[in-house]
Structures are given as structure tokens and as C-alpha cells.
Amino acid sequence: MGRFEGMSVLITGAAGGFGLKLAQRFAAEGAALVLSDLDAGRLDAAAAGLDAQVATLAGDVADEALSRDLVALALSRFGRLDVAVNNAGIVHDFMKLPQIPSDLARRVFEVDLLGVFFAMKHQIPAMEAQFREKKLRGTIVNVASVAGIAGAPKLGVYAAAKHGVVGLTRSAAAECATKGVRVNAVCPSFARTAMVTDMLGDDNAAGEAELTRGVPMRRLAETDEIAEVVLFAADPKNSFMTGQTLAADGGITAI
């Protein structure tokens, strides 16, 4: 039996990258899935390739209504919400802080920080209610970044948003500690996702070497490596860990 057999798992940004890998891994562990992404076509294609019960709802995490509706979808389709992985996010190009366009900065904050706030605002009450009524525990995993626990030159707005995610994670964990809800964050460094590989330029090898020169392991993370950390954080057997930031960063924060 899988670790998440009979459970309902909500994942945002599920059409590619970490989100799609997470959907595959949770499905293999027996979970029913509620998946969301901005790209409805890619979301439908991703869902069609999964061997699991799947409900989908496309939309923009910067719109609070989507977070409300995703929780309602989980409860109406599966009767419970056990795990929420707030994964959807965007990044801006490398540029010094004064060069970042204000409208781009606003969009990064709306998606990467407010999107997580809206998600937890609706996920937490649902999880607390099912704990009170049925003793079903819930867990939230926010996908932050190593840029959320250290400075990130030329990624200043992205780093600020991810620092905010870490702050929300720790604060919510303390608030929910006696209410049956755990909240943790996973903080990857650069990984082999489209969001990262699109930044590499024409010479992928040179671009990858430049991105990873500050990583002791000298390589990008693979999506499955980050998914493994998320599943560890979400595992119901991992019941005494909350409010933590789990750095999956190839050793960056060790130096």
C-alpha cells in the first residue's frame, strides 16, 4: 500500500516541472489528485497521463477565487483534503534590482507570495475542520527556494517573494501546531525544469556551468530529487516536523 493511499492531494503548477513530477509520484503512492495550472491544455494532458483519480481546475493562483475553488473541489470530489502542495511559481530574468520593471515585480509577488497566502488562507480552515470533526490530519508543503533563505543577487524580487513564503510557512505552522495541520517549506536550488532551462541561453552546457558554479555538487537538481523531499515533508509518518525549511540545494547553504 502506498504512503498516501486513500488520501486527497492538491498540487498547483501541476502541468510541468516539479508539479507534474509530484503528481506522478503521489499517484504512484495511491493518492487521489486535485491538480491546477494556468495552462488548461497542458493540465488536461498531464492529468490524462496519470493512473489515479484526478480532478482538475485551471486558473491563476494570483486570483484568490482559484484557491477557494480548489479546496471546494477536493472536498466535493474526494470528501477530504489531506495534503496541499503550493508549487506554482514564476521567476524573473537575472537583473539588478533597479532594473526590474515594477509591473514584473508586482506579478512575481502576486504569483509567488500572494498565491501561497491565498492557498493557505483556504486550505487551513478546511484541514482544521476535518481534524476537529474526523481527526484527519492535514499537511501543507510550500515550494519556496534556496533564494528564500539566502540572498540571490540579480533575482532580488524573486528572493523577496520566496523569503515571504518561508515567513508564511513558519507563522502558519506555529498557529496550526495544535490543530492537526503541519506546514513546511521545501527550498530547492536550480533544478532541471523549463523555468530554469529557459534561462540557460543557446549554449546549455555553458549556461548550466554558470548557474551551478556556486553549488558544491556542481550540477542542477533533477525534478525527482526535489519531489522526494516534498513527499518526505508530506508523509503522514513524518508527524512531528512542522515550520521547517528543507533545503534541497546541492550544498549551497552548507558554505
Q: SS in 3 state form for 125-146?
A: HHHHHHHHHHCCCEEEEEECCH
Task: Give percent helix, percent strand, percent coil of the chain, each to the nearest 5.
Answer: 50, 15, 40
For 132, counting Cβ atoms within 10 Å of its Cβ (0-12 exposed, 13-18 middle, 19+ buried), the class is exposed
What is the structure's pLDDT at 81? Answer: 98
* Catalytic hit among 158, 186, 187, 215: 158
192 is catalytic: no
What is the structure's pLDDT at 203? Answer: 59
C-alpha cell at 217: 555538487
255 residues of the chain, pLDDT tens digit each: 799 999 999 999 999 999 999 999 999 999 999 999 999 999 999 999 999 999 999 999 999 999 999 999 999 999 999 999 999 999 999 999 999 999 999 999 999 999 999 999 999 999 999 999 999 999 999 999 999 999 999 999 999 999 999 999 999 999 999 999 999 999 999 888 877 767 666 656 777 878 888 899 999 999 999 999 999 999 999 999 999 999 999 999 999
What is the structure's pLDDT at 246? Answer: 98
What is the structure's pLDDT at 209? Answer: 78
Most distant CA pair in the chain: distance in Å?
Answer: 56
C-alpha cell at 22: 509530484
